[in-house]
Amino acid sequence: MNTETVPGVCPLDCPDGCSWTVTVENGVATRLRGRRDHPFTHGTLCVKVNQYLDHTRAPDRLLYPLRRTGPKGSGAFERVTWDEALGEIAERLGAIRATWGGEAIWPYWGTGNLGHLQGMRGPAGARLWNVLGASEQLMSICSVAGTGGVRLATGAKQGIDPESLAHAKLILLWGANTLSTGHHLWRFIKQAQESGAHVVAIDPVLTRTAKQADEHCALIPGTDGALALGLLHVVLTLGLEDRAYLAEHTLGWDEFRQRILEFPPDKAAAITGVPEWQLLALGERLARTRPTAIRAGMGMQRHAGGGAALRLLACMAGVTGDWQYLGGGLSYSTGGSFGGDFAALRRDDLRPEPARRLAMTRLAEGLLDVADPPVKCLFVYGANPAASAPDQNAVRRGLAREDLFTVVFDQFPTDTADYADIVLPSTMQTEHLDVHTGYGHLYLGWNEPAVPPPGECVSATELFRRLARRMGLTEPSLYDSDEELAAQLLGSGHPSLSGITLDRLRAEGWVRLNYPADEIRFRQGFPTPSGRLEFVSDGQVAGYTPAKEVEDPELARRFPLVLVSTASHYFMNTIFANRPALARRAGPPSVALHPEDAAARGLADGQRARVFNDRGSFAALVRVTDVVRPGVAATTKGHWSKLTGGATVNSTVDERDADLGRGAVFHDNRVEIEGWPP
Ligand SMILES: Nc1nc2c(c(=O)[nH]1)N[C@H]1C(S)=C(S)[C@@H](COP(=O)(O)OP(=O)(O)OC[C@H]3O[C@@H](n4cnc5c(=O)[nH]c(N)nc54)[C@H](O)[C@@H]3O)O[C@H]1N2
Ligand SMILES: Nc1nc2c(c(=O)[nH]1)N[C@H]1C(S)=C(S)[C@@H](COP(=O)(O)OP(=O)(O)OC[C@H]3O[C@@H](n4cnc5c(=O)[nH]c(N)nc54)[C@H](O)[C@@H]3O)O[C@H]1N2
Ligand code: SF4
Ligand SMILES: [Mo]
């Protein structure tokens, strides 16, 4: 028997970016195991990815190009050849450009794969879209508001090395469901806990993670800014702010101090719903415990004031002086630590002029309202917006437009693929080459193709080469090979890559970026205009921006429940919702409701219900439980409409911007629930 082991990386939109090894026997991938030698992920994968090889061989995998034969949304297709599919796409793109200009094309790329070549960190296809002058996309659906907030305060995207949490004495897991959404960090949190650290989950839901924490602080969704200011008020009252740090390393303390003084504990408690005694105790703990690490998740910033809230968390670590200690400071994302040559990959210089930018959180608006020029081609890859984007019903109206030419490049027949004119089959991770980082650690990983693609699947890089050729484009860089692209990416000369060559990465499988384990981020200053942590930027003082629907009393009368829709333990966004074993474990869509709220509506545990507001509705099974407080309901994202009753939670979510970066407001959402049938 011919057996080999091939290094790889999990491509999914998860902070952990696990390194794995694929065993290939006689050309067939037979085992996929996490790499034990990886310092962050230590050999385990997760419940979702343990059966990834089965997923690559799933019976519903897309293997051939398809052309639509029924109405949009019906999912009726016929098989066509690659030649026919590419011919039709090339012709339609050519005609659309000739009539409407390149900006009528919207490349809608998502985070289904985080690879730097095949995925959305590059993003794949950027060169072709640049040559065609297509609209650009604002990658706004996930973390952008929070990133904007962190950047205002610190000047950088990335905070501390998550591994340094092992050195913390107080850990605030702020809107982060670590045990479900990136569980490898738990090892470091556990280490800290074993050395006496106190771990607090600040989350409206008693999550899997909150259950394992030492304390759960169950605030009302969207009130994090008020909580942060209230806690800092306690710090000031005790006189335990780090005055030396404030004087030397921060800007705008006098103004920020005034802001904090506007949020005495009784007021902060009233806004956040956190009992005043708990706020006082936590504030005192924060005041007296160094180092304190804050680990913020993406969930907490999906509100009208999400950017402002993250900004406050970065500021908080300045008031306590925690940025100066190993194990102190804020960890949100490590994105930005990897200094790859993204400009070389993207080649924005190929673009005749800067194009308009369309926000992926505003897909319905983009398809229904944008006029100059209208969007005539939507080219979707690594994304399932018919299930994941806000205001599902409006998105579907947009996708159903007869004059819209839609291409979907995916691995499975998703809700979005059902609206495509042409569906193209994509490779999966064991079948293509890629370079990865993780947004929750500081390692680079190499993904070598282990097996040939099944059927007629192609990788993203290969698809865009084929399409360029079919369109007769002559720009040479459109035809660079995967190895050439990888070499260009790693050839930036950035200090984070010093000593790291493509050959070394390929040979070793994973390599730590060039950051020392005991690095104190921002010790040499902050990359802000002032070089300091900025409480004030552009004349604006960091502060509390309330959520919109959560705080709307008029709306609250009609829709008394705030609905958060968090990550499912068993799905990765919408990936795996079609995997029978995982779908069984996840169960059908459900909604957690406090016993008081259930009783007031005559709803019993296990009952089928309709969750609705003015935008739409979806079916869910009621779970009567005190994991949520009265007035808050919780469900999970990730289900496919076509597998679960026709609509997802996103039929209720508003298409509206958060305060920074046009981020989404998935949890700033009010609904009502009734038994179904009533
Ligand atoms: N298993 C699994 N893992 C995943 C994903 C998945 O779908 N499934 N998705 C991946 C992706 S794309 C991302 S972006 C990350 C997200 O990772 P996380 O941010 O950890 O995940 P979420 O579940 O979106 O949100 C975390 C928590 O925020 C809470 N929350 C909601 N609103 C508020 C609020 O206003 N304040 C506070 N303090 N908390 C609030 C929710 O109750 C939830 O428990 O996870 C990644 N990992
Ligand atoms: N209600 C609610 N909605 C949410 C959220 C929430 O918290 N609540 N979270 C939001 C967040 S944080 C995110 S990131 C989005 C993500 O939402 P989605 O866009 O649904 O992202 P995924 O489900 O991760 O992946 C999308 C598709 O990429 C495909 N894919 C995977 N790998 C590849 C590849 O290599 N090539 C190609 N061509 N395709 C590939 C998968 O098969 C999948 O169909 O959802 C958002 N939607
Ligand atoms: S989803 Fe996350 S935890 Fe699971 S294997 Fe992939 S990177 Fe690792
Ligand atoms: Mo995300």
We report the CATH number of the domain holding residue 637 as: 2.40.40.20
List the domain range (segments joined by +) for residue 302: 144-332
- Mean pLDDT for 601-613 is 98
Distance of CA 141 to the CA centre of its chain: 7
Residue 121 has pLDDT above 90, yes or no: no
| C-alpha pair distances (Å), 397 with each of 62, 72, 104, 257, 666 | 25, 10, 18, 48, 20
Q: Are 483 and 551 in contact (CB under 8 A)?
A: no
What is the layout of strands, in order, in the sheet containing 434-436?
A: 434-436, 443-447, 510-512
45 lines ligand 3 (CB under 6 A): yes
Q: How far is the CA of 247 from the centre of ligand 4 (A)?
A: 37
CB-ligand 3 contact for 18 (6 Å cutoff): yes
Same domain, 152 and 273: yes
Helix (H, G, I), strand (E, B) or coil at 633: strand
Assigned domain for 437 exists:
yes
Rounded to 10°, the helix 224-237/306-319 angle is 20
Q: Are residues 98 and 151 in the same domain?
A: no
DSSP sequence for 203-271: -SS--HHHHHSSEEE-PPTT-HHHHHHHHHHHHHHTT-S-HHHHHHHEE-HHHHHHHHHT--HHHHHHH
527 contact partners, CB below 8 Å, separation of at least 6: 154, 155, 156
Which pLDDT does position 134 carry in this prediction? 97
What does DSSP assign to residue 495? G
- What is the residue type of 20? W
Ligand with the closest atom to the CA of 381: 2
Minimal-distance CA residue to ligand 2 atom 47: 388
pTM confidence score: 0.98
Is residue 527 in some structural domain? no
Q: Tens of pLDDT along 540-585?
A: 999 999 999 999 999 999 999 999 999 999 999 999 999 999 999 9
Residues 238 and 312 in one domain: yes
Mean pLDDT of 409-427: 98
* 357 pLDDT higher than 90: yes
pLDDT value of residue 123: 82
Q: Are 197 and 171 in contact (CB under 8 A)?
A: yes
pLDDT for position 122: 67
Are the CB atoms for 499 and 515 separated by under 8 Å? Answer: no
Give, in order, the Cα–Cα distances in Å from 379 to each of 129, 375, 399, 467, 471: 10, 11, 11, 12, 15
291 within some domain: yes
Torsion of CA 25, 30, 36, 37, to 10 degrees: 40
Mind listing the pLDDT tens digit for each residue in 487-540?
A: 999 999 999 999 999 999 999 999 999 999 999 999 999 999 999 999 999 999
146 contacts 661 by C-beta, under 8 angstroms: no
pLDDT of residue 389: 98
> CA-to-CA distance for 323 and 507, rounded, in angstroms?
36
**Does 669 lie in the same domain as 596?**
yes
- Round to whole Å and give the CA distance between 468 and 465: 5
Question: H/E element holding 533?
Answer: strand 533-534
Same domain, yes or no: 438 and 461: yes
> 270: which 2 tokens?
């009233």
- Count the residues in the chain: 678
What are the pocket residues of ligand 1 if the criterion is a CB atom closer than 6 Å to any ligand atom? 13-14, 48, 142-143, 174-177, 180-182, 202-205, 207, 219, 221-222, 224, 297-300, 303, 564, 566-569, 571-573, 638, 667
Predicted confidence (pLDDT) at residue 427 exceeds the cutoff of 90: yes
Determine which residue's CA is closest to atom 8 belonging to ligand 1: 572
Q: Is 364 found in the same domain as 315?
A: no
Q: With beta carbons less than 8 A apart as the criterion, state whether 315 and 542 touch.
A: yes
Tokens of 124: 């794949």
Q: 341 and 389, same structural domain?
A: yes
For residue 466, give both structure tokens. 């084929």
Give the sign of the dihedral formed by CA 239, CA 243, CA 244, CA 246: positive
99 confidence band (pLDDT: 50, 70, 90): very high
CA distances from 281 to 218, 278, 330, 483, 588 (A): 14, 5, 21, 55, 39
Nearest CA to ligand 3 atom 4: 46
pLDDT over 90 at 645, yes or no: no
**Proportion of the chain above pLDDT 90, given as a percent:** 97
- CATH code at 396? 3.40.50.740
Residues 198 and 249 in one domain: yes
By alpha-carbon position, which residue is closest to atom 10 of ligand 2? 142
Which tens digit of pLDDT belongs to each residue from 259-303?
999 999 999 999 999 999 999 999 999 999 999 999 999 999 999
Which residues line ligand 2 at a C-beta cut-off of 6 Å? 11, 13, 110-113, 118-119, 141-142, 298, 381-385, 387-388, 409-412, 414, 426, 460, 565, 572-575, 637, 649-650, 653, 666
pLDDT at 384: 98
Q: Answer yes or no: are the C-beta atoms of 520 and 638 closer than 8 Å.
A: no
Per-residue confidence (pLDDT) for residue 265, from 0 to 100: 98
Whether 212 and 161 share a structural domain: yes
CB 420 within 8 A of CB 314: no
Q: From edge to edge, which strands make up the β-sheet containing 3-9?
A: 3-9, 19-25, 28-34
| Token reading at 613 | 């507001």
Rounded distance between C-alpha atoms, residue 310 and residue 152, angstroms: 10
390 CB neighbour count, 10 Å cutoff: 26
In sequence order, what E strands does 363-428 have?
377-381, 405-410, 422-425
> In the structure, what pLDDT confidence band is assigned to residue 120 with cuts at 50, 70 and 90?
confident
Closest CA to 179 of 16, 32, 313, 338: 16
- For 568-620, the DSSP string reads -SS-BTTBTTT-HHHHHHH-S-EEEE-HHHHHHTT--TT-EEEEE-SS-EEEE
Question: Where among 512, 537, 570 does a domain terminate?
Answer: 512
Task: Evaluate whether residue 283 is within a structural domain.
Answer: yes
Of 299, 332, 365, the residue that ends a domain is 332
Tokens of 126: 């950027």
- State the chain's mean pLDDT as an integer: 97
The vertex-426 CA angle with 124 and 44, nearest 5°, equals 85
Neighbours of 473 (CB within 10 A): 16
Q: Is residue 609 part of a domain?
A: yes
308 and 377 fall within a common domain:
no
State the distance from the centre of ligand 2 to the C-alpha of 12, rounded, in angstroms: 9
At residue 125, the pLDDT reads: 95
Q: Which of the listed residues 332, 348, 373 is the one where a domain comes to its end? A: 332
Reference 360, options 607, 139, 58, 664; nearest CA is: 139
User: In sequence order, which residues have a C-beta less than 8 Å from that of residue 403 and are 6 or more positions away?
Assistant: 376
Distance CA 1, CA 452 (A): 18
Query: Six-digit token pair at 522?
Result: 């921002």
Residues with CB under 5 A from ligand 4 (ion): 142
503-to-108, 491, 500, 511 alpha-carbon distances in Å: 33, 12, 8, 11
Is the confidence at residue 252, as pLDDT, over 70? yes
The total number of structural domains in the chain stands at 3
Q: Which of 52, 143, 203, 545 has most ligand 1 atoms within 8 Å of its beta carbon, as the pocket-test mutant?
A: 203
Same domain, yes or no: 138 and 149: no
**294 lies in some domain:** yes
Torsion angle in degrees (nearest 10) through CA of 207, 212, 217, 220 = 0
Q: Is residue 35 part of a domain?
A: no
**Burial tier of 547 (Cβ tally within 10 Å: 0-12, 13-18, 19+):** buried
Query: Reduced to 3 states, what is the DSSP secondary structure of residue 340?
Result: coil
CATH assignment at residue 271: 3.40.228.10
Cα–Cα distance between 65 and 457 in angstroms, integer? 8
- The model's pLDDT over 13-23, given as tens digits with 9 standing for 90+, comes to 999 999 999 99
Residue 371 — pLDDT band, cuts 50, 70, 90?
Answer: confident
Residues 75 and 187 in one domain: no
13 lines ligand 3 (CB under 6 A): no
Give the position, in ligand 3's atom list, of the atom nearest the Cα of 34: 5
**Does any domain span residue 18?**
no
